[in-house]
Amino acid sequence: AFHNPGRSGAGAYALLQLLIGGAGAAIAARQVWLQSLPKDQVPACGMGLDYMLETLPFSDVLQKVFEGSGECAEKGWEFLHLSIAGWTLVFFVAMIAVSFALVRRD
């Protein structure tokens, strides 16, 4: 450790870790959900990210990225029957569990 944050600092770090873990888990869970949809229920493919960044305001780009498109339902590769989105979800949930353990420890 580079510094000794004390009890309140450690709690702040645990809260920050919990917030980041929660946001990451929510995004990963949505991706896993998109990948589990039947092909006929996958959202239609939209514009590519490069094109959107060139033509749309950044706030619109963020909104469209989180709406998803058909290409985001592709799994790519799997390891132990989980896609990369599934593994990301597992690790974000583990991050949340560690943050709870840190809060309970103090």
Closest alpha carbon to 90 in 33, 35, 24, 37: 24
The per-residue pLDDT of the chain, averaged, comes to 82
What is the mean predicted confidence (pLDDT) over 17-43? 86
Whether 65 shows a pLDDT value over 70: the answer reads: yes
| Domain annotation covers residue 70 | yes
d(C-alpha 41, C-alpha 79), whole Å: 25
| Domain annotation covers residue 1 | no
| Domain annotation covers residue 69 | yes
Residue 29's pLDDT is: 92
Residue 94's pLDDT is: 94
User: What pTM was estimated for this model as a whole?
Assistant: 0.67
Whether 38 shows a pLDDT value over 60: the answer reads: yes
Whether 4 shows a pLDDT value over 80: the answer reads: no
Which residue type occupies 26? Answer: A
More confident residue, 87 or 100: 87
| Domain annotation covers residue 2 | no
Q: By residue range, what is the domain housing residue 89?
A: 7-105
